[in-house]
Structure 1
Amino acid sequence: MRIGVLGTGAMAAALAGSWARAGHELLIGGRSAAKAETLAGRVGGRAGSLREAAGFGSVVLLAVPYAALADTLRRAGADEGTLRGRTVVDCTNPLDMATMEPAPELLDGGPSAARRIAGLVGGAHVVKGFNLAPAQVWGRSPYGPGDAPVDVPLCGDDEAALAAVRTLVGEMGCEPLDGGGLERAGLLEATAAVAAGLWGQGRQPGAVFGPAGG
């Protein structure tokens, strides 16, 4: 599979590295050409512009800070149709990455980041996923025998796009879960905000839920 990557940070590095190890061909695009070159060298892909990454493959990973969404997609040419018909994997969260505080629109009932992205990408198929765990979790894949697989809820409206992302999840040794349509992506983002608050207190979010069943 050919995968374009928009972003050069920790999440982009972790997910792109996992997919490169699975044999996928990657093109890394970033707002900084130097950072794109560095990341491409680390994961074994090629570097290019954001626009080149947007048009590279059938799947495009969007892994940038929430505050950079609009500028990144503009520079990638989304308003000119560069992403039309492609699967856009959205792992973003509406958080201030310095403070891990939720963006005001998340608290005020505004549109989810996924919905905002869907309105900017001009005919692409957005799939929300990979937003409930930090980069170091995805960087550990593939998981070995005896390791508990990580469950990855996915929200999206296009079955072919969801199938492609399920394949990528499985190749990492993780388990894809049906999270519903894209209208439910905001619930994943709200869950991520709660989890970030728990991590900030030195707690493990999984401990909040406890074991299910009798």
Structure 2
Amino acid sequence: MRIGVLGTGGMAEALGGAWAAAGHRVLVGGRDRERAARTAALIGAEHGSLAQAARHGEAVLVAVPAAAAPQLVSELAGEIVGRAVVDCTNPLMPTAEGLMLDTGDTGSVALQLATAAPGAYVVKAFNLCHVSIWTLRPPTFENVPLAVPFCADHPTAVAVTATLISSIGCTPAPCGGLARAAYLEATAALAIGLWWEGRQPRAAFPSPAEAPPS
């Protein structure tokens, strides 16, 4: 699969590197072309402008800060028509009460992107794990492949995202349409807040199957 990556930071490097290692053709695009070239060289990918990355293939990863994502996607709206646009951002705002979502009354950043580029097939995915998890080959814990929840409306986006997830050794976990993306963003706020406090979020979600028979 051809995958364009918008951004040159940690998530661009980690996810882009995972996909490149899996045999996908990845192109990293950034406003700073030299930084895009360095990131691409690190992961064995091509590099170019943001517009080139947006036009590159079936999938486009938005790996820029959440606050900048809607404007960037709006600027590239004409380039990403009919493409699966994967939003891995987390719109988090530190407050005295802990991490809060910074989405105003729009519901989620993913819905903001869908509004900014109505011809694109926006997906919310890859936002629940720390960047370091995506550098594992594959991400497996207690002999179980990592499940990657995602929200998408369009069948093409669902299929492309499932391929992106399964090709790096993870399990696709569809969670409904894009209207439910706000739940993934809220889950990230809760989980990251717990990590910052030195706690383990997964300890709070045992499977009912682990309870002894009544």
In the alignment, is the contact (CA less than 8 A) between 1:28 and 1:36 conserved in 2? yes
Aligned-partner Cα distance in 2 for 1:143–1:70: 29
Distance in 2 between residues matched to 1:68 and 1:145, nearest whole Å = 33
Contact 1:61 1:90 in 2 (8 A): yes
Root mean square deviation, CA, Å: 2.1
The alignment partner of 1:20 has SS state of helix
Distance in structure 1 (CA, Å) of the matches to 2:93 and 2:17: 25
Unaligned runs of 5+ in 1: none
1:119 partner amino acid: T
Matches within 5 A, 1:52-131: 52-75=52-75, 77-78=76-77, 81-96=78-93, 101-105=99-103, 109-131=105-127
Q: Secondary structure of 2:68's partner?
A: helix
Q: Does 1:193 align with 2:189?
A: yes
Partner Cα separation in structure 2 for residue 119 and residue 88 of structure 1: 12
Task: Note if contact 1:142-1:171 (Cα within 8 Å) is conserved in structure 2.
Answer: no
Question: Does 2:151 correspond to 1:155?
Answer: yes
If the length of structure 2 is used for normalisation, what is the TM-score?
Answer: 0.90
Match in the other structure for 1:208: 204
Distance in 2, matches of 1:139 and 1:147, equals 17
Change (3 A) 1:154 1:147: same
Structure 2: gaps spanning 5 or more residues? none
Aligned equivalents of 1:173, 1:52: Cα separation in 2? 28
CA distance in 2, matches of 1:187, 1:180: 11
1:109 Cα shift?
A: 4.5
Which has more strand, going by share of residues? 2
User: Secondary structure of 2:64's match?
Assistant: coil
1:8 aligns to 2:5 (yes or no) = no
3-state SS of 1:67 partner: coil
What amino acid maps onto 2:79 in structure 1? T
Q: In the alignment, is the contact (CA less than 8 A) between 2:61 and 2:86 conserved in 1?
A: yes
Provide the identity percentage.
Answer: 47
The structure 1 segments of at least 4 consecutive aligned residues displaced by more than 3 Å after TM superposition are 143-147
CA positional deviation for 1:148? 2.2
Deviation at 1:132, TM superposition (A): 0.7
Give the Cα separation in 1 of the matches to 2:102 and 2:174: 28
